[in-house]
Structure 1
């Protein structure tokens, strides 16, 4: 059943989602990420990339409701790090939610395609994608990796592992506890659109990246880091 990545589109990819339904979904996705430790994969990757004495600009692509940036902000304050945090998303309603619910005024949100990010922010050190890449096809994923390499930015990816146990677990849990029809429909599809490690390695090689790491993490996630070519890490 899950031998190949699903090509089925998620309801969240539609353009005409009612605002109240989307807001409910964003709240639930943050709760699921928190309970399952999904944000920890991002923190683990950032610890390998950032140094306490330096300042970094991080842009979260496909930022949705901005909850990942809020969690990164809380984490960096505990770790005494200096990250300038920016989110970018195509959906105006997501940017509206993110702006209304942001934890601190110094988190910035932009409504645009991620490929236009440098028109808004001239210098970006880290491009971060949390639960964004499984929405993309192979060509788009290769383009994303090459985009980061061309712009001399580190790319951090936190996304789902395609796994039968994860699929049936999230399908059962959301059926029982979710109040969002979007979450109930999309959560198992997201897992089916996820990756196995070999697929990440193939994509990265096709994109021409030389310095990277791909690690399996708890809660059926992958931590992928594409380093800038001169880092050699």
Structure 2
């Protein structure tokens, strides 16, 4: 049984820049399925709507955008709601950006290969989904401050709740259904690198950011900061 008392410091396989593109493609496709079936995209859209308010025009940037599926989900929601949206995705992994550009070439989403900290972006809304758990607590304090400083209306975070049931569930599901060695290794490890509510409180306090922390099904936290 893993130790759930503290965040794991073990690095995920996807954090290795030498992972072949074909393996990343399979990983991205399966992650989109997981996010769809387990409600991850629904949480992302919920966080976005909390900051959007009554705006009919908005610029949005996702840091750590991976394969771009979160931005696509927001794009589809905005089109149905009649909201004019400018969407940008930033990821340091060139393979992920290549995959996103190829998958969503006709949607009009801008994808940038860069470290988010090096990007001179100041959109209305900044968000991340399943990105924060890749970082240390110290790095996250700086990230929270960066998101606060670079967003005009606010930011939100959708990330994992570190819990035994979440770990057992995703371990079993990926073992049976996944064909990606990256997903089979990284999905359970992501849970071990996830957070508890008190840890989010501590991180936000250190960053000097006041935000709402809400638990979401299935085993996620939605962090929302509005200016």
Shift of 1:227: 2.3
Matching residue of 1:11:
13
1:145–1:226: 8 Å Cα contact kept in structure 2? no
Matching residue of 1:143:
142
Shift of 1:52: 4.0
Instruction: Give the 5 Å matches for 1:46-65.
Output: 46-65=48-67
Shift of 1:47: 1.5
Shift of 1:151: 2.7
Matching residue of 1:179:
179
Shift of 1:188: 0.4
1:70–1:103: 8 Å Cα contact kept in structure 2? no
2:8–2:192: 8 Å Cα contact kept in structure 1? yes
SS of the equivalent of 2:42 reads helix
1:52–1:80: 8 Å Cα contact kept in structure 2? no
1:134–1:159: 8 Å Cα contact kept in structure 2? yes
Deviation string for 1:190-224 (max 9, x for gaps)? 000000111001100110013x1000001000000
Deviation string for 1:52-106 (max 9, x for gaps)? 4442211110001111111111111122222211000011111110000016432
1:62–1:87: 8 Å Cα contact kept in structure 2? yes
1:89–1:110: 8 Å Cα contact kept in structure 2? yes
1:110 is matched with which residue: 112, 132, 156?
A: 112
SS of the equivalent of 1:87 reads strand
1:52–1:81: 8 Å Cα contact kept in structure 2? no
Matching residue of 1:66:
68
Structure 2: stretches of 5+ with no match in the other structure: none
2:7–2:194: 8 Å Cα contact kept in structure 1? yes
2:51–2:155: 8 Å Cα contact kept in structure 1? no
**Runs of 4+ deviating beyond 6 Å:** none
Deviation string for 1:136-167 (max 9, x for gaps)? 11111100111122234412100000010000
Aligned residues: 224
SS of the equivalent of 1:76 reads helix
TM-score where L is the length of structure 1: 0.92
TM-score where L is the length of structure 2: 0.95
In 1, Cα distance between equivalents of 2:31 and 2:217: 17
Structure 1: stretches of 5+ with no match in the other structure: 229-233
